Amino acid sequence: MGMNFNHLIIGLLGMGLLGCAQVSAPTGGPRDETPPVLIGATPVNGSVNLRPEVLVMEFDEFVVVKNLNQQLLISPPIEHPPSWRVKGKTVEISLTPTDFRADQTYVFSFGESIVDLHESNSARDLKWAFSTGPVLDTLQIGGTVRDQMTGQGRSGLKVLLYRATTDWDSIWSGSLPVAVGETDKSGNFNIGYLSSGEYKGFALDDENLNYRWDAGEYAALDSMVINAGTLNNVWYGGETEAQKLPPSIGSCQVDSTGMIRVYAPFDETDSTEQWSIWDGFKARNEHFSREGDSVFVWVEEFQALDGSASSLIWSGTTFADTARMRMLQRAVGLEWDKRSKNLGTLQAGEQRGFPFQRFIKILEPSKCIIYKDGEPIESYQIVGSEDSSLTRKLLLSLNEQPDKAYELQLLPGAVSTWSGWELENDTLKWMWKTHPQDYFGALQLKLSGIPGPGWLRLDDLKMRIETDTVLFFEGLQPGKLELGFEWDKNQDGIWQKVNPERLQSPEPYFYPENQPVIRSNWIIEWDWTWKSIDEKGGE
C-alpha cells in the first residue's frame, strides 16, 4: 500500500515493453468498411421520467472515442460537459443529473465521435434521447437532399436544424443546431425527438466536423420555415465557392535575357492587374502577357538592374504582392524548335494559333508562307496575338476548306524574339489537314415538356430556351454529345448555384438518361421529353 504511484506506472510500462505484443489490425484480406453497430443502451433510448447519471452504450465490436467534446451535440445544451471512458466494446458517458430541466426532452447526437478500433469507421447517425418528464417529444422533420446537377439523392450529408427564431447570421457564425441528422444512400433524412414549433435548416458535407458551413463545403438549403411533423421537404445542393484568398505570387523565375515567368492564379473578372519592377528607387511598369495561371513579363532594361535590390510587384485595384526574382543560369526557350510539327486532321476553321516559348515579333510578313495542297496561297493574314502587344502566339486567319492539306512555313528572317534574336538559316513548318465535309454529322433536337425557361447546353454551346421547340445543329464532330438544361426556375435570367450566406438555393439542372451520339454524314433525330416535372426535379 505504500508503493509510490509513479514507480508503479514505470513498472507497468516496463512490463508492457518486455512482455506485450503490439496490437494492430490483421494483415491481408479486404479492408473493413463496416461501422460499429449499437447493440443496446442503458438507460434505453426513449426513456421518460429520467435524470441520468451515466449512459452505457454497447457496440458489436471494439471501439474508440475521438473528439467527443467537439462532436457530441446535446439539445438543449447542458451546463457541465460529460466525461467518458471506453471499456472494450462499451462506452460509458458520465452526466450531471442536476443539469437537466424538468419536463424536457434531451437528444444526444454523437456525430462521428465513436469509431471502430482498427479502421476508424464511425457509427453513423448515432442518437440517444430521453425525457425528464412523462412525455417524450416524438415529432419528426424529414425529406430528401438532391444534387443540383444530377437530381439524385446525396448521401452522407449532415442535416442541421435550428429554431425558426434563430437568425441566419448567427447560424453562419457558428450557432449550434438544436437537432442533427444524416442523409442515407438515397439522400433521405429523418430527424426525430422534436418538440412542436417551427424550424429551419440546411445540409452540408461537414468536412471539418464543426457543425457549421465553411466556404467550399457542399451545401443544400431551403430558406423556408419548416413545421415539426413535415416529412416531404426537398432541398437542392451543390458545391460552394471556396474562400477567396488575396492574390499572391506563387513562384517567380527570371532568365538572363529579362524574361520573367510567374505563377500567379487570378480571376480577371474581379480586378485589373499590373506588373512592375522595383529597382531599389522606383517602380517601373513592364510589358506582360497572361496565359491561365502563368504570367510572362518582359523587362527591356534588365541588364541594368541590380538583382539583389530588385523585386517584382503585382498590383490590382484591391491587392498588391511583391516577390524576389529567382535568377536562372541560362536563357529559357531561346532555341527555336526546328522540327516540323504535324497537327493532324482538324475541323476547317477561320483562325489558328501557333504558340512559341518566348515573346516574338514578326519582322517580315512576306516570309510567312501558307500552302494549300502544296500550292502557295495569298488570301490570308498572320499577326501577333490581338490581346497584347507582347505575344507568344502567332494568329493565322484564312478561310480553310474541307478535305485540304495546309502548311505554314516561317522562312529565315520572318520572326525574332522580343530581344531581337532572329530565326536564321532554317525554316519552321506546321502541317495539318482538314476533315472532309461528310465527316461531320447533324442533330435535330426536339424538346417537349420543358419545365420553363432556361438554357440548353450542347457541349460548350449555351443557348436560351423559352418553351418547347425543335432545333437543328450541323457540322458536329462524330462522337457522344453532352446535353443538359439549366432551369431558370425563378426566371431572373441567372442560373443560380447554391450560396448559403445569401440564402440562395440552387436551381435544377437536367440531362437525358442517355446522350445522343453523332455519326459521320448522318442526321440524328433526338427527342428529349420531360415526362413529369415536380418539386423534386425529376423526369
pLDDT in tens, 112-140: 899 998 888 999 889 999 999 999 999 99
Most confident by average pLDDT, 219-223, 384-388, 535-539:
219-223
C-alpha 235/C-alpha 440 separation (Å) is 42
Residue finishing a domain among 433, 456, 472:
433
pLDDT at residue 486 tops 60: yes
Provide the CATH number for the domain around residue 67. 2.60.40.1220
Q: What CATH number should be reported for the domain holding residue 493? A: 2.60.40
Closest listed residue to residue 349, CA positions, set 373, 393, 380:
380
Q: Are residues 64 and 193 in the same domain?
A: yes
Residue that is last in its domain, among 327, 351, 379: 327
- Residues 392-431 have pLDDT tens digits of 889 999 999 999 999 999 999 898 887 777 877 788 999 9
Structural domain contains residue 372: yes
Q: Would you state the cell numbers that stand for residue 221, as one nine-digit string?
A: 438549403
Asked if residue 25 belongs to a domain, the reply is no
Q: Has residue 484 been placed in a domain?
A: yes
Q: Residue 63 burial by CB count (10 A; 0-12/13-18/19+): exposed, middle or buried? A: buried
Quickly state the pLDDT bin for 279 (edges 50, 70, 90): confident
Nearest-CA neighbor of 521 among 491, 458, 489, 478?
478
pLDDT at 473 over 60: yes
Burial pattern 308-322, b for ≥16 Cβ within 10 A else e, equals eebbbbbbbeeeeee
Distance CA 420, CA 413 (A): 11
d(CA 196, CA 341): 73
- The x, y and z cell numbers of residue 1, run together, are 500500500
**How many angstroms separate the CA atoms of 260 and 251, rounded?**
10
pLDDT of residue 338: 65
Question: Does the pLDDT at position 6 exceed 50?
Answer: no
Q: Are residues 413 and 466 in the same domain?
A: no
Q: 433, 344 in Cβ contact below 8 A?
A: yes
**Shared domain check, 468 and 368:** no
My answer on whether 155 and 173 are in the same domain is: yes
Query: Whole-angstrom distance between the N-terminal and C-terminal Cα of the chain?
Result: 77
At 493 the pLDDT is: 94
- Of 185, 217, 238, the one marking the end of a domain is 238
Q: State the Cα–Cα distance between residues 306 and 509, nearest whole angstrom.
A: 56
Same domain, 196 and 56: yes
Give the mean pLDDT of 33-58: 95
d(CA 99, CA 468): 62
Looking at the fold, whether 302 and 422 belong to one and the same domain comes out as: no
| Structural domain contains residue 244 | no
User: Are the beta carbons of 188 and 141 closer than 8 angstroms?
Assistant: no
Percent of the chain clearing pLDDT 70 (strictly above): 88
pLDDT higher at 1 or 321: 321
Q: Which of 137-151, 209-223, 265-279, 462-476 has the lowest mean pLDDT?
A: 265-279
Domain that holds residue 297: 251-327
Cβ–Cβ < 8 Å for 458, 480: no
The answer on 301 and 284 residing in a single domain is yes
* Together in a domain, 185 and 43: yes
Domain count, the chain: 4
Q: How far apart are CA 368 and CA 359, in angstroms?
A: 17
Residue 83 lies in a domain: yes
Mean per-residue pLDDT, 484-498: 93
Contacts of residue 468, Cβ cutoff 8 Å, sequence gap at least 6:
447, 448, 449, 450
Tell me whether residue 534 is in a domain.
no
- Mind spelling out the 3-state secondary structure of 13-71? HHHHHHHCCCCCCCCCCCCCCCCCCEEEEECCCCECCCCCCEEEEEECCCEEECCHHHH
Which residues lie below 8 Å from residue 207, measured CB to CB, with a gap of 6+? 214, 217
Query: DSSP per residue over 408-430, as a string?
Result: EEE-TTSEEETTSPBP-S--EEE
Q: Mean pLDDT, to the nearest integer, of 295-310?
A: 72
Q: How many CB atoms lie within 10 A of CB 194?
A: 20
Considering the domain boundaries, does residue 155 fall inside one? Answer: yes
**Residues 6 or more apart in contact with residue 178 via CB below 8 angstroms:** 75, 76, 161, 162, 163, 199
Does residue 440 register a pLDDT over 60? yes
The more confident residue out of 513 and 434 is: 434
Identify whether residues 371 and 228 lie together within a single domain: no
Q: Are residues 373 and 315 part of one domain?
A: no
**How confident is the model over 516-523, as a mean pLDDT?**
96
What integer is the mean pLDDT of 332-352? Answer: 82
Helices (H), 97-246: 168-173
Average pLDDT on 297-308 reads 69
Mean pLDDT of the chain: 87
> What is the pLDDT, as a whole number, of residue 423?
74
Is the bond preceding 76 in cis, omega lying within 30 degrees of 0? Answer: yes
Task: Please tell me the distance from the alpha carbon of residue 310 to that of residue 156, in angstroms, as a whole number.
Answer: 52
In this structure, are residues 242 and 151 in contact, taking their beta carbons and an 8 Å threshold? no
Considering the domain architecture, whether residues 90 and 183 belong to the same structural domain is answered as yes
User: Does the pLDDT value for residue 537 go beyond 80?
Assistant: no
The torsion angles phi and psi of 80, rounded to 5 degrees, stand at: -105, 125
In terms of pLDDT, which residue wins out, 117 or 281? Answer: 117
- Three-state secondary-structure class, residue 81: coil
pLDDT, greater one: 431 or 209 = 431
Confidence of residue 216 (pLDDT cuts 50, 70, 90): very high
Is there a single domain that holds both residue 225 and residue 130?
A: yes
Predicted confidence (pLDDT) per residue in 356-380, tens digit:
888 888 889 899 999 999 999 989 9
Residue 397 counted as domain residue: yes
